[in-house]
């Protein structure tokens, strides 16, 4: 018997997006300028406005996709939320899928890069704290990203496998690589490593995706600076309780080379 497709989202219209990461366009000077100077400033101004428009489109897409899913979203909804027309949006992204992928790339790829940079340095407590803070700050800046990811997983959307292979396998591979390195996991069954990786993904992405529910249950704002700081402190504490030899891992790695 075929399984019916799950529908997500609601038909209500979304308000225009007011991005907190708007690219500022520098005002031109009122002083007389030569033709070369004017042309150069006009070019810079157009580039800044173009970048600002793209950021607004990505911000709007992130919110709409998080509420409707890839299948349930219409490009027109994103254009309206970003306050651009459809033709302008298609100048930046040729299809809805391309825009969806751009949102994911902007959100997930920097996390993989953070882990990659962490792997190159000493693994003392300060570096671990800095890593966790950077990850949580990045997710705090775009809380709808986590909801978008959870929605695709819950709905078992058609893009789920591509999402896993293109963005989350590289991310989890980086986490697993860290778990396999050094003595921090000595005595731990390697078959448990994916469970550890999943735990830290739930503690980070899950904090933001479940924020509305947590706010209703506990009467505090998980997305506030204090709420994110508390979750960050919890993650750091768990890491050092689970892997007490973390500070020695870099020294062991160098000895083993």
Per-residue b or e along 136-165, where b marks 16 or more CB atoms closer than 10 Å to that residue's CB: bebbbebbbbbbbbbbbeebebebbeebee
pTM here is: 0.77
Provide the pLDDT confidence category of residue 6 given band limits of 50, 70 and 90.
very low
- Looking at residue 144, its pLDDT comes to 97
Query: Which of 68-72, 120-124, 143-147, 194-198 shows the lowest per-residue confidence on average (mean pLDDT)?
Result: 120-124
Higher pLDDT, 9 or 174: 174
Which CA distances in Å does 218 have to 2, 77, 170, 212? 40, 33, 34, 10
**Dist. CA 232–CA 228, nearest whole Å:** 6
| Domains of the chain from N-terminus onward | 101-256 (1.10.357)
What does the block give as tokens for 70?
């890839």
Q: What's the first-to-final CA gap in the chain, in angstroms?
A: 56
Mean pLDDT calculated for residue range 142-157: 93
The Cα 245–Cα 22 span in angstroms is 42
Confidence band for 3, pLDDT divided at 50, 70 and 90 = very low
Q: What is the pLDDT of residues 90-142, one digit of tens each?
A: 999 999 999 999 999 999 999 999 999 988 887 778 888 999 999 999 999 99
> What pLDDT is attached to residue 183?
44
pLDDT computed for residue 189 by the predictor = 79
DSSP, residue by residue, 175-211 = HHHHHHSTTTTTTS-GGGHHHHHHHHHHHHHHHHHTH
- Distance between alpha carbon 218 and the CA centroid of its chain, in Å? 25
Q: What is the pLDDT of residues 15-74, one digit of tens each?
A: 565 544 433 323 333 444 555 555 444 544 556 778 999 999 999 999 999 999 999 999
- Report, as an integer, the average pLDDT of 226-253: 78
pLDDT of the residue at 256: 43
pLDDT, greater one: 1 or 230:
230
Indicate the angle between helix axes 35-72 and 143-154, nearest 10 degrees.
30
| pLDDT at res. 251 | 46
Q: Is the pLDDT of residue 248 over 80?
A: no
Residue 218, classified by CB atoms within 10 Å of its CB into exposed (0-12), middle (13-18) or buried (19+), is exposed
pLDDT one-digit tens code per residue, 153-188: 998 888 999 999 999 999 998 888 877 775 455 567
Top-confidence residue, 143 or 253: 143
């Amino acid at each position: 018997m075929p399984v019916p497709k799950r529908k997500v989202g609601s038909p209500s219209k979304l308000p225009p997006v007011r991005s907190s990461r708007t690219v500022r366009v520098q005002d031109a000077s009122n002083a007389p300028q030569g033709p070369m100077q004017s042309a150069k400033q006009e070019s810079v101004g157009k580039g800044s406005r173009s970048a600002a428009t793209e950021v607004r489109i990505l911000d709007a897409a992130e919110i709409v996709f998080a509420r409707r899913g890839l299948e349930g979203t219409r490009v027109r909804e994103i254009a309206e939320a970003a306050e651009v027309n459809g033709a302008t949006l298609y100048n930046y992204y040729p299809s809805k899928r391309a825009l969806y992928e751009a949102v994911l790339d902007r959100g997930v790829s920097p996390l993989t890069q953070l882990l990659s940079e962490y792997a190159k340095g000493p693994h003392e407590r300060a570096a671990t704290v800095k890593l966790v803070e950077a990850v949580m700050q990045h997710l705090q800046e775009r809380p709808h990203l986590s909801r978008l990811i959870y929605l695709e997983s819950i709905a078992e959307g058609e893009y789920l496998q591509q999402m896993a292979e293109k963005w989350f396998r590289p991310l989890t591979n980086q986490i697993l690589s860290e778990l396999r390195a050094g003595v921090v996991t000595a005595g731990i069954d390697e078959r448990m490593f994916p469970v550890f990786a999943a735990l830290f993904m739930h503690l980070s992405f899950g904090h933001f995706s479940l924020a509305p529910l947590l706010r209703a249950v506990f009467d505090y704002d998980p997305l506030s600076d204090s709420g994110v700081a508390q979750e960050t402190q919890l993650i750091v504490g768990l890491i050092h309780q689970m892997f007490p030899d973390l500070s020695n891992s870099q020294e062991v790695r160098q000895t083993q080379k």
